[in-house]
Amino acid sequence: MMRPTVREIISTLLIALIIFLGVQVTVESRVVEGLSMEPSLHNDQRVLVIKASYWFGDPQRGDVIIFDHPEDPGRTIIKRVIALPGEEVEIKDGQVYITDINDDTFILDEPYINEEPNYTYGPRVVPEDEYFVLGDNRNHSTDSHSWGMLPGDNVIGEAWLLYWPLSEWHLISGWCYSQDQ
């Protein structure tokens, strides 16, 4: 039996290192903390985050994202993108109203929320390179309605897969749509 050469060993280690670093740069695991995303996600569940999701594009309405908290450096949280740059957002009478860049106004149909919000917000226009994000558990979430818009530079990636506990694993869907669609 032939022994591997030093060159083969180095090549194998180099390939393994490249794969390891590639995975570290593009994917990571996060723990859901708190109740703000219920009923979609629960405290202590584990999600797989695709950090490469927004390398070539921007977050879209409905995406569930992980980001650095704008008021608490070092803390990461998870919320859903509700309004995009240039859009106007208003929350009243338990509904989220969006006026898009074409001046079309619609009410979001949000089957994923725990209960309708019992607060009002806006109307406010989302500045360029910022997002309006909310937790699915609207009345028990600290989010854009309380601390303001999320800077785009704070976004780490998109929550893609709930993988723990194994009995509840599923792809995390990003859906927000108007009642007119």
Instruction: Give the model's pLDDT for residue 180.
Output: 44
Q: What is the pLDDT of residues 126-143, one digit of tens each?
A: 999 999 999 999 999 999
Does the annotation count 79 as an active-site position? yes
Name the active-site residue from 40, 53, 79, 144: 79
pTM above 0.95, yes or no: no
102: alpha, beta or left? (left if phi > 0; alpha if psi -120 to 50): alpha
The answer to whether 70 touches 154, Cβ cutoff 8 Å, is: yes
- Phi, psi dihedrals of residue 101, rounded to the nearest 5°: -70, -10
Does the annotation count 51 as an active-site position? no
Residue 169 token pair: 């694993």
Q: What is the pLDDT of residues 64-122, one digit of tens each?
A: 999 999 988 888 999 999 999 999 999 999 999 999 888 889 999 888 898 999 999 98
The correct answer on CATH 3.40.190.10 for the domain covering 30-178 is: no
How many other C-beta atoms can be found within 10 angstroms of the C-beta atom of residue 146? 11
Q: What is the pLDDT of residues 6-35, one digit of tens each?
A: 888 888 888 888 888 877 777 888 889 999
Rounded CA gap, 70 and 159, in Å? Answer: 18
Q: What is the DSSP-derived secondary structure letter of residue 5?
A: P
